Structure formats: structure tokens, C-alpha cells
Amino acid sequence: MRVALKLAYIGTEFHGSQIQPNIETVEGELFKALRNLGIIESPKSANYTCAGRTDAGVHALGQVIAFDTDKPNLTIPRVINSELPSGIWVWAHAKVSRSFDARRDAVSRHYRYVMSGREYNISKIREASKLLLGTHDFENFSRTNGEKSTIRTIERIDARVDGELIKIDVVGNSFLWNMVRKIVTALFMIGKGVRDNDWLLQMLNPDIYEEGIEPAPAYGLTLLKVNYDEKIEWIEDSYSIRRASEQNQKRILRHRVMAEVLEELTSHE
């Protein structure tokens, strides 16, 4: 049987999603858990696929993986989570077709970037984001990773203010390496008045204009959702969702305390 899982993870606790030797990664921990439970023998023999790799520091809520197993009764999220560190949790599972490929069958991916918004003009960011919609050559917004084409389609970009933060949602068919984070950098440069819309239009024409820009920090980016044409009957695990929420509330409290401590350390009083 072929099974798909939805998993979430806190990217700052791992060195990226893709398995790498001698360092902690999301896939490394996941494969270890699946092998310990006897669900798969190896990613290759199980025809393992993943919706998309995320860089070190990038988080996920709706990452999707799929694999073949002869023990589907063990693919319940709470069972798999018992073998995973608290920074990774599976929260939904589904039976899928034998041909389902988590990466190739994805029709769109939804990312969200969160950043302090005190010094940016949200109106300028929203106006600039409209220029990115549709199909363009995003070579100036990527790090080359062997892709044959740098043409991508962005379906939607929404920017909104939430308290002292700005949240930018980007939905597209697929994304190049660092593409979302470099788009965010460009939008914030415009929002700060460092660049303008004419510059952004030039950036979308790499044949005649080339400029390298730094990607926004990884910790602000989350893969929220992956969408498929195939109808998938996801079964959510309420216990796993509740348990993850409890763990994250503890993290939130710790970070709030640390923020206050850092404020005191910089007050010099």
C-alpha cells in the first residue's frame, strides 16, 4: 500500500529537510523512525518521495511525503511521533494511488514569510508584489541548483500587517532554490525605499539585467501547504495535533522570556 503523510517541523532545530551524513536533518530523523517501526526498510525500496526540500532554518506545517509499505496499520501519526524528536511531528495520513509522487504531482505550494514590519511601507510592498504575478524568469531570484529552467509561475502574493509584523504569503506552481526568500528581500527593499518598481521589472528580465541579492533569513519562512489535483482523503490525528500544540506553547513561553532577558541585557541600566 502507498501512504502519504503530512508533517510539520521547526526548521531551526535541524540542518535542513534533506538527509545528509553526520548531521541532524528532518529526513534523517524521519527515516530512522520509519525503520525502527518496521514501516520501511529504506527510502529507495519504499519509493519515498517528498513534496519539496527546505533549507536549514526553514519550517513546515504542510510538508507531504509518500512511500510504499506492507504495514499501513503502523502509519498512524501518533505511532510515528513516538519515535520522532519533538521538533518534528506527523499530524495526518492518507492512502494514495500507487503512482502518487509527492513532488511531481504537486500543483502548487504555499509559503508564508513573517518579518518585523516597523520600518516598511506595506502599500509599496503590495503594489510591487503585483508585478511578480504570472509566469516570469526568476533567475535573479534564485541560487542555481542544476535546474534546466528558471521559469516559474506565481499564482498569488498577499502581504498584510499583523501587529508589528508583516506576513507575506506566496503561492506558486514550484519554486527555485532560495526563490521565496529572495522575493521577500526584493519586496522589503522596495518597502523600505531602497529600490523601486522599475528595478523589480528589470530583475524579472535576467537576459538584459543581472543582480545578486541576499535571501531573507531562513527562520521567517514556513511551507504552509502543498496542493494536489488528486483527491486525497486526509485523516487528521487530533491527539498528535494537541500534543504538538502543547509542546509549542512551551517553546513560545521560553522565547518570550528570552526576548525579555535580551531587552534587559541591552538596556545598560
Place of cell 517528498: 50
Contact status, residue 216 vs residue 178, Cβ threshold 8 Å: no
pLDDT of 145 above 70: no
pLDDT of 198 above 90: yes
Asked if residue 192 is part of any domain, the answer here is: yes
The annotation status of 111 as a binding-site residue, yes or no, is yes
pLDDT of 268 above 80: no
Quick: pLDDT tens for 157-182. Answer: 999 999 889 999 999 999 999 999 99
Using pLDDT thresholds of 50, 70 and 90, give the confidence band for residue 217.
Answer: very high
Q: Where are the alpha helices (DSSP H) in 88-237?
A: 122-130, 179-191, 197-203
Catalytic option among 55, 101, 137, 169:
55
Q: What is the mean pLDDT of residues 83-107?
A: 96
pLDDT of 96 above 80: yes
The domain spanning residue 164 has which CATH number? 3.30.70.660
**For this structure, is 229 an active site residue?**
no
The per-residue pLDDT of the chain, averaged, comes to 93
- The 3-class secondary structure across 97-111, one letter per residue, is CCCCCCCCCEEEEEE
Quote the percentage of the chain above a pLDDT of 90: 83
Asked if residue 260 is part of any domain, the answer here is: no
Residues 218, 235: one domain? no
Residues in the chain: 269
pLDDT of 144 above 90: no
* Structural Rg of the chain based on CA atoms: 20
Asked if residue 17 is part of any domain, the answer here is: yes
How much is the pTM? 0.93
Q: What is the mean pLDDT of residues 121-135?
A: 95
Quick: pLDDT tens for 39-83. Answer: 999 999 999 999 998 888 999 999 999 999 999 999 999 999 999
Cell numbers given for 116 = 518585523
pLDDT of 141 above 80: yes
* Residue range of the domain that includes 117: 111-223
Residues 168, 208: one domain? yes
Residues 175, 89: one domain? no
Asked if residue 255 is part of any domain, the answer here is: no
Asked if residue 268 is part of any domain, the answer here is: no
Q: Is 74 helix (H, G, I), strand (E, B) or coil?
A: helix
Q: What is the pLDDT of residue 232?
A: 94
Asked if residue 265 is part of any domain, the answer here is: no
Asked if residue 269 is part of any domain, the answer here is: no
Give CA torsion, residues 117, 121, 123, 126, to 10 deg.
-60
Cell numbers given for 155 = 499564482
Domains: count for the chain: 2
| Measured distance CA(33)–CA(62) in Å, rounded | 19
Contact status, residue 216 vs residue 188, Cβ threshold 8 Å: yes
Using pLDDT thresholds of 50, 70 and 90, give the confidence band for residue 199.
Answer: very high
Residues 91, 158: one domain? no
